[in-house]
Structures are given as structure tokens and as C-alpha cells.
Amino acid sequence: MKSKLFLVFSAVAVFALYLVLIWVLRLLTGKLPVEDGLFGVFRDHDFVLAFVVAGFVTFSLVQKRKNTKSK
């Protein structure tokens, strides 16, 4: 149970970190506010991409754990 909770927390952290990174990059490049964006910062596809990135990171963590347990 502890490892599954760790995976959930890591996925949420990657999701939030991706969104913060997008916000900082748009802030530094002067692309704010975004027209038709949520909170004037994020577009709909930003959330989808953040979800996909979090899924890939979580999948890689699971595969890494499987590889270390099998050795």
C-alpha cells in the first residue's frame, strides 16, 4: 500500500510541476494572458499533456521497481 501511495503522490507532483513549468515559461516569454485559457494561463491541452507526462513518469517508476525486484 505504501508503494502505491508513493506512486500516486509522485504522479500528482509531476502533474503539478509540469503545470508550474508551463506557467513560468509563459511568464518569462511574455505569453500571458492566454486567450480562452483557464485562469488566463493554461489551455485545455496543457492539462492533457500534463496528465500524459505524469502517466509516463509513473509507468517508468513502476518498471524500475519491477526491474530492481527481479534482480
Distance CA(3)–CA(35), nearest Å, equals 40
Q: In the 8-state DSSP scheme, what is residue 38?
A: B
How high is the pLDDT of residue 32? 80
**Which residues touch 36 (CB under 8 Å, ≥6 apart)?**
43
Domain locations in the chain as residue ranges: 2-70
pLDDT digits (tens, 9 = 90+) for 8-63: 999 999 999 999 999 999 889 988 877 877 777 888 888 999 999 999 999 999 89
How high is the pLDDT of residue 30? 86
- Distance of alpha carbon 27 from its chain centroid, rounded? 18
Q: How many CA atoms lie within 13 A of 69 on its CB side?
A: 7
Sign of torsion over alpha carbons 10, 17, 60, 11: positive
